[in-house]
């Protein structure tokens, strides 16, 4: 699928570009152990580093990067970004802004003193006809001090301006740097097609396959990856430890 990213001509060589999510995996995924001792089992067990669905979800789609370093101290966000004059007069110049807390009244995100930030995207995204863009918090990234609110944009039609990504700021005590290039949103193109939900009970041969597959999965590791996992372009058979992260470190 061709995805077209555009930005102001003054920024084309000055801001980080959206990248496949597999190129922005966090350092902790690379450095975490492959096995860890389980008090419940009384022995070492495999960690999620061995779990293809866990890693594949984090590698899905592409990520929108933060355009510059953002410093956070005592609840104050600041940046020192020498942004040039832009061709588009109404284009945002700040990497982040804020939403009024009242916009989440009546939702689970409503908390006393809750701060709702907004990441401004400096890239527009154009998808092929019939496709929408699902934007969500970077998958399994609970290490980030914010939680992006998920949204769906019909980016085959809406692509003249950048998407704004609202997020709930979670860590009121966080002080540090959100580094340039850090993923702020993970985006996945999805087709706009209706769902046809069908419900059936197992046929005899399906019951047999269920038991056979379950038994094979229990007998040893790697069966899903070796037998069922589809090859992925640029990441065929890649495991978490073989994919070197490029972005996404939050510096305390």
Q: pLDDT at residue 247 above 80?
A: no
DSSP single-letter state for residue 55: H
Around Cβ 55, how many Cβ atoms within 10 Å?
A: 25
Q: Quick check: 75 and 247 in contact, CB under 8 A?
A: no
Residue-wise pLDDT tens digits, 61-94? 999 999 999 999 988 899 999 999 999 999 999 9
Cβ contact 167:119 at 8 Å:
yes
This prediction has a pTM of 0.88
Model confidence at 114, pLDDT cuts 50, 70, 90, reads: confident
Mean pLDDT on 10-23: 96
Residue 241 in this model has a pLDDT that exceeds 90:
no
pLDDT of residue 172: 86
Check residue 150 and report its DSSP letter: P
Do 85 and 10 touch, CB atoms closer than 8 A?
yes
| C-alpha to C-alpha distances, 210 to 201, 202, 207, 215, nearest whole angstrom | 12, 9, 5, 8
CA-to-CA dists, residue 196 to 89, 148, 190, angstroms: 46, 30, 16
The residue extents of the domains of the chain are: 4-83+91-208
Per DSSP, which regions of 74-130 are E strands? 76-78, 96-99, 116-120, 124-126
In tens, the pLDDT along 183-221 reads 999 999 999 999 999 999 999 999 999 999 999 998 888
4-83+91-208 — its CATH code?
A: 2.70.40.10
pLDDT at residue 99, rounded to an integer: 83
């Amino acid at each position: 699928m061709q995805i077209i990213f555009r930005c102001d001509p003054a920024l084309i060589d000055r801001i980080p570009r959206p990248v496949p999510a597999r190129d922005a995996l966090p350092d902790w995924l690379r450095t975490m152990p492959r096995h860890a001792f389980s008090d419940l089992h009384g022995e070492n067990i495999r960690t999620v580093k061995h779990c293809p669905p866990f890693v594949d979800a984090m590698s899905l789609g592409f990520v929108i990067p933060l355009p510059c370093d953002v410093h956070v101290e005592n609840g104050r966000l600041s940046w020192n970004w020498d942004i040039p004059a832009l061709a588009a007069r109404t284009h945002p110049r700040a990497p982040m802004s804020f939403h009024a807390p009242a916009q989440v009244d009546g939702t689970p995100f409503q908390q006393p003193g809750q701060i709702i930030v907004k990441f401004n995207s400096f890239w527009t995204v154009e998808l092929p006809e019939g496709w929408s863009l699902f934007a969500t918090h970077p998958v399994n990234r609970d290490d980030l001090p914010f939680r992006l609110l998920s949204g769906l944009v019909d980016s085959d039609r809406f692509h003249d301006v950048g998407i704004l990504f609202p997020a709930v700021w979670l860590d009121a005590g966080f002080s540090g740097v959100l580094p340039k290039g850090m993923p702020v949103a993970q985006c996945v193109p999805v087709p706009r097609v209706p769902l046809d939900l069908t419900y059936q009970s197992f046929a005899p041969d399906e019951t047999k396959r269920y038991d056979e597959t379950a038994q094979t999965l229990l007998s040893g590791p790697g069966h899903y990856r070796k037998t069922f996992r589809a090859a992925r372009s640029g990441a065929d058979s890649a495991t978490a430890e073989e994919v070197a992260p490029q972005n996404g470190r939050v510096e305390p």
